[in-house]
Structure 1
Amino acid sequence: MNTAPRSPLVRQVAFGLLVLLALLVGAAALRFALPGQPLAPPLPNLTVQRELLVIHAVSAGLALMLGPWQFAAGLRARRPRLHRCIGYGYAACLLVGGLSALPLAAQAMGGPLAQLGFGLLGLGWLGTTAVALVHVRAGRIAAHRRWMVRSFALTAAGISLRLQLGVAGGFGVPVEVIYTALAWTCWVPNVLAAELWLWPKAQPADPEPGWEPTRLGVD
């Protein structure tokens, strides 16, 4: 079996695709702030809580657009102050997005199972980011980076959700039919993928100059 590391080109293409999807999905979420913008899909719980949905969509969309840049090694090395500013902006957007997600999850269509899935996503989103902030404030940079990978894996649930909705729509499956499953499939695979990425690279303590989660990005 070939265990050679992935080439820089593969990493750059993967990072570029991640940035593109994050920008497209994040920008699409910002449209809900426009007056008279219809909901898509027009689910009953979102119609009742439209103002809360707008707050959640805008803040989560901004977090999604900011998140990938935290994994650009070149930016972090050359512009550490900008890296920190983007990081705190990401955390602030995530705080608003996560807190607004919880009441939306409590009213999610699909019953208790869907509500539990979206609720755990919101709690995990807030929790992983809080742990990442605690580590960076304590100077544990390697641990901070690992937890930021987990945080963004949950942020990227927005990408997974839109992709799965698109596939379902392409096959003519009504969103109401798959909504309960989406409450889990939009984020659980992301978490598993993040852990698989982190597992062979985990180190016991700081500093760990040989490990870079940003190998997903550009050097």
Structure 2
Amino acid sequence: MKPKKSWWVLFVVSLGVVIPFSAPYFTLDPAYSRVKFSSTAIQFPLLVTHIITACVALLTGFLQFIDRFRIKKPKVHRYLGRVYVGSVFISGLIALVYFFYVEDLSKATSFLALSLLWLFTCWKGYRTAVRRDFDEHRKWMIRSFAVTLVAVSGRIIVPILLLMVFLLNGFSLPGDIKATVDEMLKFNIWIGIIVNFIIVEWIILKPIG
């Protein structure tokens, strides 16, 4: 597709959300982690690998839909596609393992659902490309990238929910802000999944179908 202003706005917003979250983990120092560990020897390397490969998937995912690569340079598009698929599978499989380290059940199930959706949609996108069914390939890769972008939308949703709670409670929070944010982090992924798929299925893919 021809990059529109909205596409570049999404790209910049995504970087603005992901970079501050990911940057501490690129130091490879567990002291800067926002996640508490029961065993840094196992959990921290898994988390860092998951985050790095997810960032690679995000960047290559954006490039997949640009005509300069997709149409004019198909070899580059295929190479970027392989990097995207490989990154998703590494990051997604690690997320499945990491599921067992998440203590909160609601958070754990949301990560599990997100990981399974990510792996499934990416696998379908890959298989349709192998079968040279490029129409279905494009649709499944759009779905896959929508799941990738939950890493962005899920974090944007938190301050929006916080603002809503603030307004609904007469310009005050019902409790401690950290406790309120922690509560929102139990279901922000679910909202991100729902919002992203509504946008993809009813706004993007429905006109194509």
Bin for the TM-score computed over the shorter chain: 0.7 to 0.9
Post-superposition offset of 1:179: 2.0
Aligned-residue CA RMSD (Å): 2.5
> How many angstroms apart in 2 are the aligned matches of 1:61 and 1:39?
16
State the TM-score, normalized to the length of structure 1: 0.77
For the Cα contact (< 8 Å) 2:24–2:33, is it kept in 1?
no
CA-to-aligned-CA distance 1:9-68 (integer Å, 9 cap, x gap): xx711111122133344444254131325123x445797822211111111011111111
For the Cα contact (< 8 Å) 2:155–2:188, is it kept in 1?
no
> How many angstroms apart in 2 are the aligned matches of 1:93 and 1:22?
17
Q: Does 1:90 align with 2:45?
A: no
Q: Does 1:14 align with 2:6?
A: yes
The runs of at least 4 consecutive aligned structure 1 residues that moved more than 3 Å come to 22-28, 42-48, 165-175
Aligned pair partner of 1:126 in 107, 110, 119: 119
* Residue equivalent to 2:59: 65
* Residue equivalent to 1:201: 208
Aligned residues with identical type, % of pairs? 26
Could you tell me which amino acid in structure 1 is paired with residue 13 of structure 2?
L
Q: Does 1:55 align with 2:49?
A: yes
- Superposed counterparts of 1:19-168, under 5 Å: 19-28=11-20, 29=22, 31-36=24-29, 38-40=32-34, 42-43=35-36, 49-111=43-105, 113-167=106-160
> How many angstroms apart in 1 are the aligned matches of 2:17 and 2:56?
10
- Structure 1, gaps ≥5 residues long: 1-7, 203-219
State the TM-score, normalized to the length of structure 2: 0.80
Post-superposition offset of 1:177: 1.4
> How many angstroms apart in 1 are the aligned matches of 2:185 and 2:39?
13
Number of residue pairs matched by the alignment: 191
| SS of match in other structure, 2:132 | coil
Q: In structure 2, do the counterparts of structure 1 residues 78 and 26 end up closer, same or farther at CA, with 3 Å as the change threshold?
A: farther
For the Cα contact (< 8 Å) 2:122–2:141, is it kept in 1?
yes
Could you tell me which amino acid in structure 2 is paired with residue 32 of structure 1?
Y
